[in-house]
């Protein structure tokens, strides 16, 4: 039954034969990413494993190279993304050789005697190409830009995204109440009873929903992204979803989708995405009411105060032994604090390229590194960590620079949504690794931000402010 993973590839080929690359992207790839798990794979002999999303993206990328590559315009962000992907392969493939200096022998006749992990490095490079580089390219080329007179696909993409996430949230109500993952139940049967690496978690007497995204924190992160873009869609496409779901009841389709996304975020019961969503909403609120520089300054102050307060509260909260914790929440917080102490020594040993993803030693039995920045420092060293931070920070600064231009309010609000999404994700990943579908969506948004090139226009509001919307306009 593993061959069902090839169904998205067939669907993508059919969509490409009958329509454009953009339509295949929106109608096949996005549903595959949001509805099908990444943790089941198909492996042919001598080839890298394929997930559902990999199967869909490969024909899409081939068609993109043939039809759309002529529109590519190089930017320094392209180089950072490619270097980040290759740093994973280098760290994995040459983890031992880089540490002991024997990598130099690769260029000599006896290079075969170098102790290396080149096969795994090749597999990691393929994985990074399909989860980092190609999603970035899709985001840069297919959403804002179009062939000929095509309109941007932003509205179609966001509509598809938020509706699919609302469906995931609706199905996951069963998981929240029962404490069992309906997603894993179905897919485990389809894959012949293969055991899941993602056990169902409970909190406060309810199941922490994970949907097809592996972990509840990753699910919360993805619902947070959906909520941010849904707010933009509701504000600038007022006709979308305005019809009532049931005649006579004051519940519209757009309201149902919004509440489903809020419900999905809450049912994940993950504080990291809640904090990220809170900061994202604060940023949008400030951008609606102040000029860009004032809003950025106020947000910086709010974020600084929050993180300082969170640091001192967290230090006091976790300043006990794990055995003395009063609940699972405190034990989890202590575990994350202990991670820093456990892995600091080995980070110092291999500062440049780290230990590799499959070869790093689990310190003090803490094999799960629930912090993406720490994970990067351990597995890819400061090279990989620096590249990732540069990608995130560079994307944020570029979007802020774009906001200094006069442009249509729809464009300005979408750029703010990108900013909120990136800040929300980069905050959340202090509590979880960036994996499964979350990394695909993160680099898709990074590429989308690079593809933004709004036409200059006369400002329609003084000082470049976004129009203000009351909270009930968002939720009703």
Please give the full DSSP string across 299-347, using - where no structure is assigned: HHHHHHHHHHHHHHHHHHHT-S-GGG-SSHHHHHHHHHHHHHHHHHHHH
Q: How far is CA 439 from CA 77, 130, 347, 433, in A?
A: 17, 10, 23, 9
- Tell me the C-alpha distance between 68 and 21, whole Å: 8
Are 466 and 412 a contacting pair, CB within 8 Å?
A: yes
| 236-268 exposure pattern, b = at least 16 Cβ within 10 A, e = fewer | bbeebbeeeeeeeeeebebbbbbebbbbbbbbb
| Separation between Cα atoms, residue 345 and residue 177, nearest integer Å | 43
Cα→Cα distances 379→29, 350, 353, 365, 372, Å: 29, 9, 7, 16, 10
Instruction: Determine how many CB atoms are found less than 10 A away from the CB of residue 72.
Output: 14
Instruction: Name the helix (H) or strand (E) containing 258.
Output: helix 253-267
The contacts of residue 317 (CB under 8 Å, 6+ apart) are 330, 333
Longest distance between any two alpha carbons in the chain, whole Å: 81
92: closest CA among 363, 374, 384?
384
* Predicted pLDDT of residue 463: 44
Alpha carbon distance 323, 334 (integer Å): 10
Please report how the helices 216-236 and 409-428 are oriented relative to each other, as an axis angle in degrees rounded to 10: 170
Q: Give the three-state DSSP class for 423.
A: helix
- What local confidence, expressed as pLDDT, does residue 472 receive? 45
List the pLDDT tens digit at each of the 476 positions of the chain.
688 999 999 999 999 999 888 999 999 999 999 999 998 888 888 788 899 999 999 999 999 888 877 878 888 999 999 999 999 888 887 766 555 555 555 555 454 444 556 777 788 888 899 999 999 999 998 898 755 556 678 899 999 999 999 999 999 999 999 988 888 888 888 887 777 777 888 888 899 999 999 899 999 999 999 999 999 988 888 788 778 777 667 788 888 999 999 999 999 998 889 999 999 988 888 888 878 788 888 888 988 888 888 777 767 666 666 665 666 777 777 877 788 888 888 888 888 888 888 778 888 878 788 889 999 999 889 999 999 999 999 999 999 989 888 888 888 889 999 999 999 999 999 888 888 899 999 999 999 999 888 776 554 444 455 555 444 444 33
| Cβ atoms of 250 and 242 closer than 8 Å | no
Dist CA 358 CA 124 (whole Å): 10
Beta bridge partners of 42: 50
Enumerate the domain spans of the chain.
1-67, 150-269
Q: Return d(Cα 219, Cα 197) in angstroms, integer.
A: 16
pTM of the entire structure?
Answer: 0.88
CA gap 276, 269 in Å, rounded:
13
The residues, ordered by sequence, that sit 6+ positions from 79 with a Cβ below 8 Å of its Cβ are: none
Q: Which positions ≥6 away from 426 have C-beta within 8 Å?
A: 392
The pLDDT score that the predictor gives to residue 462 is 44
Count the neighbouring beta carbons within 10 Å of the beta carbon of residue 78: 17
Strands (E) across 131-273 are located at 202-203, 206-207
Q: Tell me which long-range contacts 359-362 makes (C-beta under 8 A, separation of at least 24).
A: 359/92, 359/95, 359/96, 359/117, 359/120
Token pair belonging to 36:
């099908």
Residue length, the chain? 476
Structure tokens at 386: 């620096």
| Residue 266 CB partners (closer than 8 Å, separation 6+) | none
């Amino acid at each position: 039954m593993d061959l069902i993973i090839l169904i998205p590839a067939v669907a993508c080929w059919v969509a490409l034969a009958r329509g454009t690359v953009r339509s295949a992207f929106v109608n096949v790839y996005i549903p595959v990413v949001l509805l099908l798990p990444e943790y089941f794979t198909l492996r042919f002999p001598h080839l890298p494993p394929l997930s559902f999303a990999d199967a869909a993206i490969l024909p899409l990328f081939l068609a993109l190279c043939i039809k759309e590559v002529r529109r590519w315009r190089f930017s320094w962000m392209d180089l950072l993304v490619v270097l980040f992907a290759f740093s994973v392969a280098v760290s994995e493939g040459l983890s031992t050789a880089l540490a002991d200096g024997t990598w130099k022998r690769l260029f000599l006749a006896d290079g075969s005697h170098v102790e290396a992990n080149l096969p795994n490095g090749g597999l990691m490079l393929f994985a990074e190409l399909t989860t980092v580089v190609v999603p970035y390219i899709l985001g840069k080329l297919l959403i804002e830009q179009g062939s000929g007179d095509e309109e941007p696909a932003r509205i179609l993409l966001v509509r598809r995204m938020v509706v699919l996430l609302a469906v995931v949230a609706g199905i996951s109500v069963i998981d929240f109440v029962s404490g069992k993952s309906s997603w894993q139940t179905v897919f485990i049967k389809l894959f012949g009873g293969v055991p899941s690496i993602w056990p169902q978690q409970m909190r406060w007497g309810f199941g922490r929903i994970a949907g097809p995204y592996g972990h509840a924190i990753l699910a919360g992160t993805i619902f947070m992204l959906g909520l941010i873009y849904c707010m933009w869609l509701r504000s600038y496409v007022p006709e979308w979803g305005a019809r009532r779901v049931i005649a006579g009841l004051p519940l519209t389709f757009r309201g149902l989708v919004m509440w489903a996304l809020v419900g999905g975020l809450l049912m994940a019961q993950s504080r990291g995405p809640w904090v990220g969503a809170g900061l994202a909403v604060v940023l949008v609120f400030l951008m609606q009411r102040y000029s860009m520089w004032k809003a950025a300054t106020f947000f910086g102050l709010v974020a600084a105060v929050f993180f300082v307060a969170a640091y001192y509260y967290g230090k006091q909260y976790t300043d006990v032994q794990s055995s003395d914790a009063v609940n699972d929440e405190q034990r989890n917080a202590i575990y994350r604090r202990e991670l820093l102490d456990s892995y600091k020594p080995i980070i110092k040993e291999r500062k440049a390229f780290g230990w590799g993803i499959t070869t790093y030693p689990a310190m003090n039995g803490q094999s799960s590194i629930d912090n993406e920045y720490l994970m990067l420092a351990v597995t890819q060293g400061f090279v990989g960590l620096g590249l990732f931070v540069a990608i995130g920070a560079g994307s944020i600064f570029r979007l802020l620079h774009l906001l200094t231009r006069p442009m249509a309010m729809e464009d300005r609000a979408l750029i703010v949504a990108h900013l909120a999404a990136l800040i929300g994700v980069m905050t959340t990943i202090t509590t979880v690794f960036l994996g499964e579908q979350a990394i695909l969506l993160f680099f898709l948004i990074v590429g989308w931000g690079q593809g933004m090139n709004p036409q200059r226009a006369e400002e329609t509001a003084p000082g470049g402010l976004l129009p203000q919307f009351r909270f009930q306009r968002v939720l009703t």
